[in-house]
Amino acid sequence: MDTLSLQFRQSNLDALLTYAVSNVDGIIQCSPPKKHYQHILLPSLQSFITTMYKRCRLTPTVLIIALIYLDRLKCNLPNQARGEFDTHYKLFLAAILLASKYIEDHNRLTKSIYRAVAPLYGPRDLAEMERSFLAIVSVSQIKWARGWGRRKNYDAWFFFSRTFF
């Protein structure tokens, strides 16, 4: 693979990660102060998402599916919904866990996500994040066959994914 091709792929990846950060950051209004010791350990959202992507060896496909799930979650949240400081982090984790489980029928990726966040969140925390996420989105919307709903959303995501592959 030539240098120009590698640079093109890296710039596309950077754009995808930047888009993911802005999308996750805009889901819900969260409290700014860091109240718990656990919150102080968290890096910036940009750094967290980039680190999780690289450390867990996520694929662009998993990230895009996670973004679709996050979009569906945002549509189902009540207007007055508010979160704690780390809610954005938890929503991102739940979305990538669910997306990875949809894409891969084994738990290699799930285990790497668990290991990557082990100092901050344990397996019970992650399971609770997934259950809460699914309760808001509902399982029927997670399934691709029923979940698209609006054709324009599918077209936008298709165009977006074609840009990065």
Q: For residue range 129-147, what is the model confidence (pLDDT) as tens digits?
A: 998 888 888 754 544 434 4
* 151-164 helix and 3-25 helix, angle to the nearest 10 degrees: 140
Position 85 scores a pLDDT of 84
pTM of the model: 0.77
Q: Residue 99 in contact with residue 90, Cβ under 8 Å?
A: no
Position 2 scores a pLDDT of 52
Q: Is the pLDDT of residue 161 over 70?
A: no
What average pLDDT score do residues 22-27 get?
90
Confidence label for 41 from pLDDT (cuts 50, 70 and 90): confident
Position 69 scores a pLDDT of 92
156 vs 47, more confident: 47
Query: How confident is the prediction for the chain on average, in pLDDT?
Result: 78
In this structure, of 8-12, 96-100, 107-111, 115-119, the range with the lowest mean pLDDT score is 8-12
The residue with tokens 């984790």 is 93
Percent of the chain exceeding pLDDT 90 equals 25
Question: pLDDT for 60-108, tens place per residue?
Answer: 888 999 999 999 898 888 888 888 888 899 999 999 999 988 887 667 8
- 38-70 residues labelled b (16+ CB within 10 A) or e (exposed): eeeebeebeebbbebbeebebebebbbbbbbbb
Separation CA 160–CA 165 (nearest Å):
9
Instruction: Write the burial class of residue 99 (CB in 10 Å: 0-12 exposed, 13-18 middle, 19+ buried).
Output: buried
Q: Is the pLDDT of residue 148 over 70?
A: no
